[in-house]
Chains A and B, each alone.
Chain A
Amino acid sequence: MKVFLFAKRNTKEILRDPVNLLFALGFPLVLLFLFSVINSAIPAEANSTMFAIEKTAPGIAAFGTAFFALFAGMLLAKDRTTSFLMRLFASPMTARDFIFGYTLPLPVMAVAQVCITFLAAALLGLPLSANTLLTVLVVLPVSVLFIGLGLLCGSFLNERAVGVICGAVLTNVVGWLSGIWIPLDLIGGAFKQTAVILPFYHSVEAAKDAIGGNFTGIIPHLIVVLAYAATVYGLAVVAFSYKMRSDKV
């Protein structure tokens, strides 16, 4: 009961902030449109599918969930710094109520964001199929990874620092190291090796495999994403629980 009330409050806080809506919906749509323009500018004789909608849409869908780190982190940091969380810590709410209350609305929003991205992609020529639904499911653990990262940062940092780390820094790191802006094979070397160690490249590849119907290709990438998501989210739970018990909220 309390967890749903808290989740409802958090949903309202996030959705009523126009900046959040702009980032969550606007940025993936702008990227989709830009890549579509680039793709249409490539001469047919170049025979390049680098910016084909089938390649870019799943990557953008996975990348777009990075903004949920910002939403989760900002909300938690704001609640901490305004003493709202202190008020709630004085109530009979438990650690479980807090953690799930902060988390629950975000995967739902991520699914909505991914669906809107694919609907927009469909208008730009992406054929919708059962694979599209599979891709939505594949992107879900990616969103959990970013939510965990946001909660981890929000447990310790103030709003400004969360804005920098989960906003500017994270979106750039994810953008470059996931290969959605420039395919990693074009760069190669240590850059690609670093990208392969991190989960962002795997999240985009899993989404691409899902939309392309390459079902056996999904699993190895998804395992990396799931391992990172479980670790980061676990760390966020530990960090929040520590914060709840500590003397300084």
Chain B
Amino acid sequence: MSAIITANLTKKYGGLTAVDNLNLTIEKGELFALLGLNGAGKTTTIKMLSCLIRPTAGDAVILGESIRTNPNAVKQKVNVSPQETAVAPNLTVFENLEFIAGIYGQRADSARKSAEVMSTRLGLGDVLGRKAKLLSGGMQRRLSISMALISNPQILFLDEPTLGLDVVARRELWALIKQLKKQVTIILTSHYLEEVEALSDRIGVMTKGRLVAVGTTAELIEQTGAANLEDAFITLSGGVV
């Protein structure tokens, strides 16, 4: 079974079409990257797929459940790490993890255990008792991803996970995301081409709300006759190399 199948998924804000008839299939265990310029529709797509906003038209089926007719079932199967670092600042790392596990239905003892396991797995063991607001940007982002993973989602949406991080923190997060590959289906948005190239199995390029190309890095380069992914992306985005 595919993880995600979208059918003419569309989102309009007044006269502006943010996502235009998106037709896309993402397989289970795949790391799929959505690439696009600002305003291309990447974040809007993720918001629709995670049931944060309703599509204007079309539908998406997530692990057999429609985002239109059964958003609650979808919410149990997916989780999101938003673009901004979405953590509770005055709660400790452990409390943040325990809280999210709890609201996804884990009992108190199970939530505590999950928080311990997740913090160890994601390298947060040494800062468990520290308030989230006192962590570095990289560690906050790590916590944010841990909070998305603690509900054991089958699909994880990572919206620009390394935005604003320094090069070391970014590489650490790459290593973390590589660890997660195959265990969970990941949909990642990013502006960083080297990140997309290093992490993704397939790439979808969005321009002005439309999906203009889908394929592996090699396929996109071949399709555009470009020398590298950056040139391929610029060509697909309507720019001049």
Contacts and interface: CB of A to CB of B under 8 A. Distances in A.
A13 B103 contact: no
Nearest to B78: A90
A87 B147 contact: yes
Interface string B70-88: 0010011011111111111
Interface string A72-110: 000000100011101111111100010000000000000
A84 B75 contact: no
A9 B86 contact: no
Contact of B82 (A1, A83, A247): A83
A182 interface: no
A2 B102 CA distance: 7
Contact of A13 (B72, B84, B88): B88
Interface string B45-56: 000001111000
Contacts of B88: 9, 12-13, 84
Interface residues of A, number: 25
Given A83-B86, A247-B53, A13 B91 contact: yes
Nearest to A2: B103
B104 interface: yes
B95 interface: yes
Contact of B103 (A83, A91, A249): A91
Contacts of A240: none
Contacts of B148: 87
Nearest to A8: B99
B53 A92 contact: no
B76 A92 contact: yes
A19 to B, nearest CB: 11
Contact of B80 (A2, A16, A90): A90
A90 to B, nearest CB: 5
A246 to B, nearest CB: 8
B39 interface: no
Interface of B: 13, 50-53, 72, 75-76, 78-91, 95, 99-100, 102-105, 131, 147-148, 151
Interface of A: 1-2, 5-6, 8-9, 12-13, 16-17, 78, 82-84, 86-93, 97, 247, 249
